[in-house]
Amino acid sequence: MQFTAADHPATYFQTRRFAHANIFVSDYVKACDFYHDAFGFAEAYRQPDNLASFLSNGNTYHDFALVDVHSRYAKKGQRPGLNHLAFEVESEQALVASYKAAVASGVEFLGTADHDVAHSLYLKDPDGNEVEFYADVVEDWEEARKGIIIKRKPQWIPGETNVPDTRQLFKACPNLKQLPEVLVQGKRVTHMGLAVRNFEAMYDFYTRVAGLRPVFGDRTNRCVLLAGFASLGDIALLRDVDPIEGMHHIGVEVWSESDLAAAVKGIERLGGEVKRVVDHAARYTVCVTDADGLMIQLYVNRDWRPEVIATANATDLPFLL
């Protein structure tokens, strides 16, 4: 069923925050090395049978999933880019309740998954991007999900396979890591910018299905920033930007502005490129590419309030949000 606001007037998911970016890369082993050396993220675990590497800084069980374009999950002729984006909810019980309410009103899901440490639901937004909602189901995911993992995923049917867990197992105050001898000390992946085709339908989907709230702009603006209830911003919907659809950038919070200076100075040495620098009162960003040309927005917040963000000019704004 095509999503329309009239068909789905309710809010289904109570999203805490953006959780991870799952992207296709041309070589997952080389990409893992790049994301470690350039952005300071450590490999948490690897799935060689799926040609995929998962990196985390302690924020969640992975901030980045790097999936090879030759993986069995890739389409024929797959190019580097977005595979899916993921949102965290506070408990499995909340996840299952939202799923049942959404299904009852006609929202169609692609499927469900048991990832050992998390249970997940998948569907598509109006532009065709795959979206995941998940809840943690173990306390110590760092111990449960590490090293080389090769296994068949068990089937998970929401509300039937098991009694939904009521515990809130996310890490409200995660133990964020800093790695030695890396270019940039990345803290965590915090958000994603999407270039959209159907702005109004995308706005309605992310506010009504995902339950995000607008923190800057609204469905009439060129750019809007939406956030979950434990976030300062999770998804930026962008009109009339290049590329015209799909992932525009992944937002990575860094520890200090010295990290941004290091990125400007050293990213080309590692195979990336500086695309844009926005030195603004609200946020200082350095947008760079990875080895496949995908854009990563490195940033430090300054005065991150809507009225300050609004002073940015129109050309800078997509690289600021």
CATH number at residue 41: 3.10.180.10
Please indicate, yes or no, whether residues 118 and 232 belong to a single structural domain of this protein: no
Residue whose token pair is 């598509």: 124
The reply to whether 175 falls in a domain is: no
pLDDT band at 9 (very low <50, low <70, confident <90, very high): low
In-domain check, residue 196: yes
pLDDT(121) > 60: yes
Confidence of residue 3 (pLDDT cuts 50, 70, 90): low
3-state secondary structure of 289: strand
Task: With CA atoms as reference, report the closest residue to 64 among 275, 286, 268, 250.
Answer: 250
Asked which of 4-8, 22-26, 168-172 is least confident by mean pLDDT, the reply is 4-8
Pair of tokens at residue 50: 């799926």
CA atoms in the 13 A half-sphere facing the CB of 154:
10
What average pLDDT score do residues 238-254 get? Answer: 93
Does residue 283 sit within a domain?
A: yes
Confidence at residue 245, expressed as pLDDT on a 0 to 100 scale: 84
* Whether pLDDT at 2 is above 60: no
Nearest to 62 by CA among 156, 142, 175: 142
Residues 226 and 300 in one domain: yes
The residue-averaged pLDDT of 126-141 equals 96
Please give the average per-residue pLDDT across 261-285, as a whole number.
Answer: 98
Q: State both tokens at 250.
A: 């992944």
| Beta carbons of 311 and 281 less than 8 angstroms apart | yes
pLDDT at 269: 97
Range of the domain at 230: 186-320
Q: Determine, yes or no, domain membership for 23.
A: yes
Q: Give the pLDDT mean for 49-69.
A: 96
Neighbours of 318 (CB within 10 A): 24
**pLDDT exceeds cutoff 80 at 7:** no
Strands 64-68 and 52-56: antiparallel
Q: Alpha-carbon distance 247 to 291, whole Å?
A: 16
| Number of domains composing the chain | 2
Average pLDDT over residues 52-63: 95
152 in a structural domain: no
Q: Mark which of 74, 104, 138 sits at the end of a domain.
A: 138
Are residues 68 and 134 located together in one domain of the fold? yes
What are the structure tokens assigned to 97, written together? Answer: 């309740």
194 and 313 inside one domain: yes
DSSP state of 216: E
Whether pLDDT at 6 is above 80: no
218 shares a domain with 114 = no
Q: Smallest Cα–Cα separation from 279: which of 261, 305, 254, 306?
A: 261
Task: Kindly state the percentage of the chain with pLDDT values over 70.
Answer: 97
- CA angle (39, 123, 166) in 5-degree steps: 80
Which ranges constitute the DSSP H helices of the chain?
28-39, 92-104, 141-144, 199-204, 257-266, 306-309, 317-320
Model pLDDT, residue 1: 46
Beta carbons of 296 and 289 less than 8 angstroms apart: yes
Residue 127 pairs in a beta bridge with: none
Please report, for residues 40, 77, 87, 92, the alpha-carbon distance to residue 63 in angstroms, rounded to integers and kept in the order given: 12, 26, 11, 20
Do 235 and 113 belong to one domain? no
- Alpha carbon 316 to its chain centroid, in Å, reads 21
Whether residues 105 and 203 fall in one domain: no
Residue 130 and residue 255 in one domain: no
Mean pLDDT on 103-130: 95
Q: What is the pTM of this model?
A: 0.96
Last residue of a domain, one of 138, 153, 170: 138
Please check whether residues 190 and 316 belong to one and the same domain: yes
Query: Are 214 and 114 in a shared domain?
Result: no
Domain presence at residue 228? yes
- What's the sign of the alpha-carbon dihedral 38, 67, 91, 102? positive
- Tokens of residue 203, six digits: 């706005």
3-state secondary structure of 94: helix
For residue 247, the surrounding DSSP H or E stretch is strand 246-254
Q: What is the pLDDT of residue 5?
A: 58
Do 310 and 193 lie in one domain? The reply is: yes
Q: How confident is the model at residue 232 (pLDDT cuts 50, 70, 90)?
A: very high
pLDDT of 122 = 98
Structure tokens at 312: 């940015």
User: What is the C-alpha to C-alpha distance for residues 204 and 201, in angstroms, rounded to an integer?
Assistant: 5
| Domain identity same for 316 and 193 | yes
Mean of all residue pLDDT scores within the chain: 95
What's the average model confidence in pLDDT over 214-221? 94
**117 lies in some domain:** yes
**CA-based angle 94:251:176, to the nearest 5?**
70
User: Hey, what amino acid is at 212?
Assistant: L
Q: Is there a domain that residue 12 lies in?
A: no
C-alpha–C-alpha distance, residues 153 and 127, integer Å? 28
Strand positions, DSSP E, 155-240:
186-195, 213-216, 223-227, 235-238
